[in-house]
Amino acid sequence: MTIEYKVNQPITARQFIDLLKQTTLGVRRPIDNIVAIQAMLDHANLTVTAWQGDELIGISRSVTDFYFCCYLSDLAVSENIQAKGIGKELIKQTFLQLNPGCKLNLLAAPQAVDYYPYIGLERHESAWILSDLKQLD
């Protein structure tokens, strides 16, 4: 099995949706809203994709300033090919694009909570989320 990793390789919204449907992220992403999916791709400024031939089998999609922080928003690997180190390699390839000292941050999907410490990421206890402006009232 030969896997090729590509940095900032353009992909279509349909390719992204098809991959998300093969993962547990599919239920937590707006896969029925192609405009939102396209915007997610358009406004990410760092993507690393994993390919087996011409098939997209994984993605790391991030927003970063490349110097201080990188928010890895989506890490998805097709469930048909998981447990082969592809997710870890996507994170590694993402991190290699960052300048020294830049920290990579992510929020774990419920099914992935045990995965990240297993591959060596540190747990951070103080993440906060604002989903609706009414929360500030």
Which of 22, 17, 65, 68 shows the shortest CA–CA distance to 41? 17
The percent of residues in the chain predicted with pLDDT above 90, rounded, is 65
Give the per-residue pLDDT at 101: 93
What's the pLDDT band for 61 if we cut at 50, 70, 90? very high
- How much is the mean pLDDT over the chain? 90
Q: Which fold has domain 4-136?
A: Aminopeptidase (3.40.630)
pLDDT in tens, 74-110: 999 998 887 788 999 999 999 999 999 999 998 887 7
User: Can you list the pairs that 126-129 forms with residues at least 24 positions away whose Cβ atoms lie under 8 Å?
Assistant: none
Q: Residue 90 and residue 137: Cα distance in Å, rounded? A: 39
What's the pLDDT band for 40 if we cut at 50, 70, 90? very high
Q: Residue 10 and residue 44: Cα distance in Å, rounded? A: 11
- pTM to 2 decimal places: 0.88
Give the per-residue pLDDT at 118: 82
Give the per-residue pLDDT at 85: 87
Give the per-residue pLDDT at 59: 97
Phi, psi angle pair for 65, to nearest 5°: -100, 0
Q: Residue 103 and residue 15: Cα distance in Å, rounded? A: 28
The domain segmentation of the chain, as residue ranges, is: 4-136
